[in-house]
Amino acid sequence: MFAAKTCAAVIPCFNEARTIAPLVAAVSQYLPSVLVVDDGSTDDTSNLAGGAGAVVVSHQRNLGKGAALRTGLSQALKQGFEWALTLDGDGQHAPEDLPALLRCAGQTGASLVIGSRMHNARAIPWLRRQVNRFMSCQLSRRAGRHLPDTQCGFRLIHLETWASLSLNTEHFEIESEMLLSFLAAEHQVAFVPIQVIGRGRNSHIHPVTDSLRWWKWWRGLEPPSPPLAETGSGKRGSSRHGFRRVFIR
């Protein structure tokens, strides 16, 4: 059985004063600690997050989502947590979906559990949906298996496993790099359906700039090794296929 007390929430934020306080309060109902990484915000994100009960770590300037996640996950590991639940600070992830990810880890032994929105893909804005599908298709081909939603930031991460990997990206391509790295190291990955919630404002993702960053990262990958599905190492959560699609509510 998965123990929620072993898990901290990590929320990377950039100018999320409108949503961060109620989000911290909601997540705190499920997990014992909420770490907010204020990635160079120019609004009142830090004060509002701290007032709602979060531990706040601040970057002096905006370094990018990948860098913010690295800071938050490292902090959670230093504080003795075994797991981290990451979610975006803009309210697009529903805290009530959180228990489904925890149950999935307990039932499957997966080291990385990712929320999947693709069962209700039409609720995702058209451009983001198309970009997600393109990137997920490319990553699925490389991994040799279907990966339904590779860009979702609502994730449950086993921290020691994460710390053993070499992750270098600093922006939104971190979602793809993390997923491929877990699979390449033969750690089991699972997907769980989650709600799709509208943001009510524009995303921090810059379609051209961030797509170019992703493409640069993608082109820089080494040629893939023999199909991952052919291997199995007995590592935590590993299996012959290293991937499981799970539908748990």
Indicate the pTM of the whole model. 0.83
Cα distances (angstroms) measured from residue 19 to each of 89, 113, 156, 199, 224: 7, 24, 21, 10, 40
Q: How far from chain centre, in Å, is Cα 173? A: 11
pLDDT tens across 9-45, in order?
999 999 999 999 999 999 999 999 999 999 999 999 9
pLDDT at 239: 41
Q: Show me where the domains of the chain are located.
A: 4-221+228-245
Q: What is the mean pLDDT of residues 97-116?
A: 96
Cα distances (angstroms) measured from residue 1 to each of 60, 104, 230: 40, 10, 29
Q: Are 124 and 117 in contact (CB under 8 A)?
A: yes
pLDDT at 123: 59
Checking if the pLDDT of 242 tops 70, the result is no
Q: For residues 188 and 245, which has the higher predicted lDDT (pLDDT)?
A: 188
CA-closest candidate to residue 76, choices 157, 187, 165, 182: 157
Q: Are 228 and 174 in contact (CB under 8 A)?
A: no
Distance CA 9, CA 73 (A): 9
Q: Which fold has domain 4-221+228-245?
A: Spore Coat Polysaccharide Biosynthesis Protein SpsA; Chain A (3.90.550)
Checking if the pLDDT of 231 tops 50, the result is no
pLDDT at 241: 39
Residue 246 tokens, joined = 């799970």
pLDDT tens across 42-77, in order?
999 999 999 999 999 999 999 999 999 999 999 999
pLDDT at 112: 98
